[in-house]
Copies of this chain bind each other. A is one copy, B any other.
């Protein structure tokens, strides 16, 4: 495709995107297709000859859009916010247009240095000290795996460069909350610790936050048995209820064993942009690594996850490979992000953050986050004040865990009721909520924070919820 053909198609596509984003509020929030429906709508083989851009574009409307849950919809309250702010989309488009290859500093100095600049910007905006240095990862799952590998190598004194994990005498042990994100146990297992060496530490029964005394006991028990407490993952906050593991106390306990502390703030990290919310990560300066996702609440489009570490030299010792075809005379003076994570090559993802922060400005982003916190508090107040409804966990952030508990309904019957009404809400197409289990029972998560969600949308949601549980669908 020539630049002129791209120009013509690009203009059409930009209009399509602007029109699409404008109509999102009129679309059903949840994807409306059945398994296999999208596949069945597409040909079995790639075309030998070029198709027209109009045909491809028509397929976006015909096949793709109905097959996407509209996370940019004002009625999206599922999982966590997954904002794709249009300012960041422009940065992503610029990245594609430039088509740079990020394998070393030399291959694209600007790709490396803009990433240094924006990760420093965000570090400062979050109130973190300059001891932290960051890089963009695809997701917090990958960031967590990188942290588990860095912790493994610190605790084993660089075993990967000798006999590996399989040559260790004393097994390394990892600790986390049973409410931590599923990517945490996955990372521990992939890093080779083994499920037998993963401890789920007890949590407070009301706040669902990790109990540091339980952590102290677990670590002491392992140490006494000849095992090596290697790493603690603090969830700030947890996926189910946004519970906040107490970082300062965890850092203290971990410090008694020299264990690495990784703070998984994938969702809550955006709140660090607000000075009044930083108490949630009190003590973070004593941790070893910290991950958070601008691609969630803050709204820089996927995939934009930040991993900050204090000891870059250690991370590089774990991740570095420098074959002769990548050597360059400037190596000593520059950062090589290939040595800060798993992939060698990277996109120019820093442009997404750069455009987002510059085109929206920090104050507007902060104002939106504060709006969402207020909306979540308002919603929690309504639910808490309504007979038959209950807020099930502290609202630390913007996610409210709720249940409708009609008189006389409990156990499996209550579970069935919960799943029925959340399904009925989602079937309206006007809102999308997720169900999750807490203390062995289903509950519903209302995760406020789509960029488009205003107070009136949350009011409409609350009306819809009461309407649905009162109606025949429930």
Contact = CB atoms under 8 A, between A and B. Distances in A.
B31 A345 contact: no
A343 B141 contact: yes
A69 B108 contact: yes
B20 A98 contact: yes
Contact of A347 (B22, B35, B302): B302
A439 to B, nearest CB: 12
18 contacts: A3-B18, A3-B19, A3-B86, A31-B107, A45-B121, A50-B364, A65-B98, A79-B107, A93-B93, A93-B96, A138-B343, A164-B194, A166-B197, A190-B319, A239-B325, A302-B347, A303-B345, A324-B436
Contacts of A113: 36-39, 42, 67
Copies of this chain in the oligomer: 2
Q: How large is the interface on A (under 10, 10 to 19, 20 to 34, 35 or more residues)?
A: 35 or more
A97 B239 contact: no
Given A36-B333, A163-B171, A301-B99, A192 B192 contact: yes
Interface string A326-369: 10001001100000001111110001001101111111100000
The 10 closest A-B pairs by CB, nearest first: A164-B194, A67-B110, A84-B99, A17-B97, A10-B14, A192-B192, A7-B18, A38-B113, A165-B192, A325-B436
Given A13-B90, A194-B166, A342-B142, A114 B64 contact: yes
Contacts of A194: 159-167
A139 B345 contact: yes
A124 to B, nearest CB: 6
Contacts of A456: none
Contacts of A242: none
Nearest to A38: B113
Interface string A97-116: 11111110111111111101
A34 B149 CA distance: 33
A325 B64 contact: no
A13 B91 CA distance: 10
Interface string A70-94: 0110000011001111110110111
A195 to B, nearest CB: 5
A6 B259 CA distance: 47
Nearest to A354: B56
Interface in A197-237: 197
Nearest to A172: B166
Contacts of A358: 46-47, 50-51, 55-56
A354 to B, nearest CB: 8
B101 A69 contact: yes
A7 B89 CA distance: 11
A17 B8 CA distance: 12
Contacts of A131: none
Contacts of A295: 345
B90 A72 contact: no
Given A20-B97, A160-B192, A166-B166, 10 more contacts: A7-B18, A13-B93, A46-B358, A48-B361, A51-B359, A67-B109, A161-B194, A190-B319, A239-B323, A240-B324
Contacts of A149: 190
A412 interface: no
Interface string A140-157: 011001000100100000
Interface in A108-132: 108-114, 116-118, 120-122, 124-125
Contact of A196 (B78, B101, B121, B164): B164
A279 interface: no
A395 interface: no
A89 B96 contact: yes
A9 interface: yes
B99 A89 contact: yes
Contacts of A196: 162-164, 167
A190 B345 contact: no
A197 B343 contact: no
A273 B162 CA distance: 40
Nearest to A122: B46
Interface string A356-385: 011111111000000000000000000000
A428 interface: no
Contacts of A125: 46
